[in-house]
Amino acid sequence: MRTKHLLAGNWKMNLGPTQARAYARQLKESITPLSKTDVWVAPASISASAVAEELKGTSLQVGAQNVHWAESGAFTGETSPLFLKDLGATFTLTGHSERRQFFGETSEATAQRTQAALKAGLEVIVCIGETESERVSGKTERVLEEQLQPVLAGLTAETATKVILAYEPVWAIGTGKVASLKDIQETHQHIQKVWASHNLPGSAVILYGGSVNPTNFAEILALKEVHGALVGGASIKLDQWLELIKIAEATAV
């Protein structure tokens, strides 16, 4: 079980190689020593090598926003998990709502990508979340179960320790809307029940994501069901990212 808070920054399609290297250098030079918080960043794939090179030797971990399920082959535009390992990545995201929404990725494909990443020795942040209409119509739990089932079914006691879940209600991503503390707590509790129903060891590490910022983060992180955050826009704004890290470090048990 992870004993530290985890803050993962998803830079999305922002910061090309030159900008990403400069930002990583600023982050490296500005961050204070951490003992209770792990900080991970997921730059665009084209920028990952520059960021990994810049952050080499620090405690900051570099990962990817997506990964393919094959080690190599005729898969134009995709990235092998072995390529990620080669450039120094330690983790990847899978199943992000934007991949599902804009590129038609299914939960089964998310499971395939997750398995390939785990086989390559990467940790994986598996993203799940419902749309606003699904929440309003009372389908949140069913949707999350459907998204999780293919992923969890493929895990073993060993590989489960390398998987982190990120609950990101789709309606809260980049909108400024944030799920209520009650909704976050109850949803994370349900996710734990789904994890347990697959006879996986321990409990799941669950991050919250969706318009997280320095104003709302402390109260979200105070929930015992929340182990950290997957952050989008605020992770590429240095002042906000440093403040989030500061909050995570100050509130860690």
**Known catalytic residue: 96?**
yes
- Print the domain residue range for 80: 5-251
Q: Give buried/exposed letters for 199-218 (b at 16+ CB in 10 A, else e).
A: ebeeebbbbbbbbbebeebe
Point out which residues pair with 123 in neighbouring strands: 91
CA distance 148 to 153: 8
**Cβ(38)–Cβ(7) under 8 Å?**
yes
Each of the 253 residues of the chain gets a pLDDT tens digit; together they read: 567 999 999 999 999 999 999 999 999 999 999 999 999 999 999 999 999 999 999 999 999 999 999 999 999 999 999 999 999 999 999 999 999 999 999 999 999 999 999 999 999 999 999 999 999 999 999 999 999 999 999 999 999 999 999 999 998 887 888 889 999 999 999 999 999 999 998 999 999 998 899 999 999 999 999 999 999 999 999 999 999 999 999 986 6
Catalytic site residue 168?
A: yes
The one catalytic residue among 5, 96, 188, 227: 96
> Of these residues, 98, 105, 168, 249, which one is catalytic?
168
The number of distinct structural domains making up the chain is 1
Give the CATH number, domain containing residue 245: 3.20.20.70
53: part of which helix (H) or strand (E)? helix 45-55
